[in-house]
Structure 1
Amino acid sequence: MISLNNLKNFLPTSNVVTNCIRNASKKTSGSTKNPKNPHGRPKHRGWKRQDGSTVTYGTILATQTKPRFFPGLNVGFGRNGTIFAMTNGKVYVTCEKVDLNFDHGWIQRFFSGRSGHTIYKKYFNVIPEKQHNRFRLVDEN
């Protein structure tokens, strides 16, 4: 049996310093060079309704970032370039000469340097549906 005095001979006389090492609890992930979708969600811009289709009020006819399509008869132009129907009717797309307002910021940005040229663009028109012919004269005053 080992006595307490003999045990002191085995222990060092200087103070023992213990080092604690903390390891990572999770692995680090590296970067990838080909992410799943590098450009985000697709925006699906362009024509929404074709020539000859029937639309209702507020139907979006085309979305755009640059002025590719212009509003014609019964068609509105949104702030972001969206073209929409303002009445119920049939869509007609025509190619016409454009008379641009070169004082407008959007026009200056996309058509700078072309002020003397003839420019043709696609116009969206909505021709209203025929109304009924059931009108009658109520009073002739």
Structure 2
Amino acid sequence: MAHKKAGGSTRNGRDSESKRLGVKMYGGQTIIPGNIIVRQRGTEFHPGKNVGMGKDHTLFAKAEGVVKFEVKGKFGRRYVNVVTA
């Protein structure tokens, strides 16, 4: 009987798919309304002028212009702005 019994499954056969988070548009880049600027978990970056925030904390442009990052406030929060012409 040339049969092979079933081998046990390995313990390592899984891995989560990457979430593709991070900055998508950098400072100085031209942007149009609706473009995603940052994908993030939590508020690593905060929305500034002409920038909206989705329910998953994604920052997106609300106006056409140029992306500008800045650090403001007592706690050193990072803000993303869209500077219009």
Measured against the shorter chain, the TM-score band is 0.7 to 0.9
Letter of the 1:128 partner, please give it.
T
Letter of the 2:49 partner, please give it.
L
TM normalised by structure 2 equals 0.86
Give the corresponding residue for 1:89: 65
For the pair 1:75 / 2:31, whether they are aligned, the reply is no
2:81 to 125, 137, 140: 125
For the pair 1:34 / 2:9, whether they are aligned, the reply is no
CA–CA separation in structure 2 for the residues paired with 1:29 and 1:121: 54
Aligned pairs, how many? 82
Displacement of 1:51: 0.5
Q: Which has the larger radius of gyration?
A: 1
Q: Hey, which of these two has a bigger chunk of strand by percent?
A: 2
1:43-71: per-residue Cα shift (whole Å, max 9, x none)?
01111111100111100000111211000
Gaps in structure 2 of 5+ consecutive residues: none
Q: Hey, which of these two has a bigger chunk of helix by percent?
A: 1
1:17-64: per-residue Cα shift (whole Å, max 9, x none)?
xxxxxxxxx9534221322x52x2100111111110011110000011
| Percent of residue pairs identical | 35
Q: CA RMSD, aligned part only?
A: 1.6
Give the corresponding residue for 1:63: 39
Secondary structure of 1:119's counterpart equals coil
Secondary structure of 2:67's counterpart equals strand
CA–CA separation in structure 1 for the residues paired with 2:64 and 2:28: 13
Higher relative contact order (CA 8 A, sep 6+): 2
TM normalised by structure 1 equals 0.54
- Return closer, same or farther for 1:85/1:30 CA change in 2, 3 Å cut-off: same
Gaps in structure 1 of 5+ consecutive residues: 1-25, 98-117, 130-141
Deviating 4+ runs (over 2 angstroms): 26-29
